[in-house]
């Protein structure tokens, strides 16, 4: 009987150390998935722009949604939504992110920014990732970082 109690106690102690690590890993994983989805949306908008020789881009109407849009060359019609990305619960786009990033038919960000555009994706417990779009249209993703390390 005592052996059984000792075994259960050891299992409980191991679980006390392992469970928080697993939860932390899952939070970082969800943040990474959301950041890759944002980067993919930007790359898809750039692909639409270059393949159709039209302006296309990403519009960020809220903290948890992105719309991939293709624009009328004459500017008379409303943008055509080609796709929507919804971020997971608890993952949000920073309020200081640009509301719209557009690409021209060459895949270059238009209007040409003075610096690379950045979209900060905030996760839970202070972790975040940054998706960067250079003026030439290249999209990169940073590693997950914590607020206290930034």
Average pLDDT over every residue of 116-128: 92
Residue entry with tokens 């009987």:
1
Q: Rounded mean pLDDT of the chain?
A: 91
148 three-state secondary structure = helix
Q: Is the pLDDT of residue 28 over 70?
A: yes
Structural domains in the chain plus CATH codes: 2-149 (3.55.40.10)
Predicted pLDDT at 1: 81
Question: What pTM value is reported for the model?
Answer: 0.86
Q: How far is CA 98 from CA 3, 61, 66, 94, 125, in A?
A: 61, 10, 11, 9, 24
Q: Is the pLDDT of residue 32 over 90?
A: yes
DSSP letter string over 121-143?
EE-GGGEEEEEEE-TT--EEEPP
The pLDDT tens digits for 45-58 are: 999 999 989 999 99
Predicted pLDDT at 114: 86
The alpha carbon of 45 is separated from its chain's Cα centroid by a whole number of angstroms, namely: 14
42: number of CA atoms within 13 Å, CB side?
27
Q: Is the pLDDT of residue 116 over 80?
A: yes
Average pLDDT over every residue of 91-115: 92
The answer to whether residues 85 and 65 touch, using CB atoms and an 8 Å cutoff, is yes
């Amino acid at each position: 009987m005592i052996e059984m109690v000792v075994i259960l106690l050891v299992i409980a102690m191991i679980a006390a150390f392992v469970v928080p690590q697993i939860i932390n890993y899952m939070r970082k994983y969800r943040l990474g998935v959301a950041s890759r989805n944002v980067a993919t949306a930007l790359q898809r908008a750039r692909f639409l722009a270059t393949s159709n020789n039209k302006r296309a881009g990403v519009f960020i109407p809220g903290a948890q949604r992105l719309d991939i849009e293709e624009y009328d060359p004459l500017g008379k019609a409303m943008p055509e939504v080609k796709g929507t990305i919804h971020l997971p619960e608890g993952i949000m786009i920073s309020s200081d992110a640009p509301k719209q990033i557009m690409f021209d038919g060459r895949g270059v960000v238009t209007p040409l920014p003075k610096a690379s555009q950045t979209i900060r994706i905030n996760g839970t417990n202070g972790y975040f990732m940054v998706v960067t779009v250079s003026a030439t249209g290249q999209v990169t993703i940073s590693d997950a970082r914590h607020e206290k390390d930034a």
